[in-house]
Amino acid sequence: PVNVIREDFTDEQLLYLGTDNGLYISVNQGTYWHLADSDMPRVAVHDLFIQTEENDLLVGTHGRSIYILPLEEVQQIPNLLTQSVAILEPEQIKHSKRWGQKSRVWYDAYTPKFNWTFFAQNHTDGVFTVTSEKGVVVHEEAIQLSKGLQKIPYGLVMQPDMVKSFNRKHKTGIEPADDGNTYLPKGTYTILWNNEVKTKLTIE
C-alpha cells in the first residue's frame, strides 16, 4: 500500500514514495520506481517531508523513528541517465598532517573518512583508477557496482607499490604514516572508470 508521495522541489521528474514496504524513488515522474535500501530498512513509511533549506528528505517510519536522506546526490541522477557509469564529483578535501598519525600510544591512528559516490545504470564490474597531476597511478581497484547510487569507501591512500613512482615523478619524499599507509598529498587527482575520465578530486 502507498501511504505518501512527495515531489522534489528542484525537479518535477523526481518523486519520493512511502509504502508499507519501504521508501521508493522515481527519476521519471513515476514511470519506474527504485527501492531506496542502502541505509533505509524496509519498514512502513507513513510520512515524507522535504526540508528545503537543508535539502533533506525526512522519512517518518513505523517503529524505526525518523530517517534523514540528503538529496544533493539524488537530485543529480536525472543528469546522469545518459551514462552507463558515473562518479559524482566530490567536494574539496582539506589535507591534514594528522592522517595516519597516533597522538597517543594507546590510541588508534587518525584516518580520514571518504567515499566515492557512483551511479550505475545496471550491475557491472570495472576498475576505477586514481592518477596524480603528472599521470602517476596512485590507486587502482576492481569493484562491482550495483544498479543505482552507491558509496564506495576510499582511504585517500597510495598503494605501496606506487609510492616510489610518485616520489620520483613529483620529486618528493613522501613516506608512510604511523599506521603504515601513505596518504595522498595536496593536489588534484583524476578519477577514471575503465580508463575513461570521470571526475576530479582536489585535496587542498
The pLDDT value recorded for residue 106 is 76
Residue with the larger pLDDT of the pair 171 and 103: 171
The answer for residues whose C-beta is within 8 angstroms of residue 96's C-beta and 6 or more apart is: 110, 112
Instruction: Tell me the C-alpha to C-alpha distance, in Å, between residue 183 and each of 68, 127, 146, 153, 160.
Output: 32, 20, 28, 15, 10
The pLDDT value recorded for residue 41 is 83
pLDDT digits (tens, 9 = 90+) for 46-98: 999 999 999 999 999 998 889 999 999 999 998 898 999 999 999 999 999 99
Q: What is the band of 14 on the pLDDT scale with cuts at 50, 70, 90? A: very high
**Cα–Cα distance between 190 and 12 in angstroms, integer?**
33
Instruction: Tell me the C-alpha to C-alpha distance, in Å, between residue 152 and each of 26, 46, 70, 74.
Output: 23, 30, 17, 16
Q: Is the pLDDT of residue 181 over 80?
A: yes
Residue with the larger pLDDT of the pair 160 and 108: 160
pTM above 0.95, yes or no: no
Residue type, 147: K
Residue type, 41: P
pLDDT digits (tens, 9 = 90+) for 113-168: 999 999 999 999 999 999 999 999 999 999 999 988 899 999 999 999 999 999 99
Q: Please, what is the Cα angle at 198 between 68 and 14, to 5 degrees? A: 35
Q: What is the band of 107 on the pLDDT scale with cuts at 50, 70, 90? A: confident
Residue type, 109: A
Q: Is the pLDDT of residue 38 over 80?
A: no
The pLDDT value recorded for residue 155 is 95
Instruction: Show the cell assigned to 14.
Output: 523526481
Mean of per-residue pLDDT scores for the chain: 93
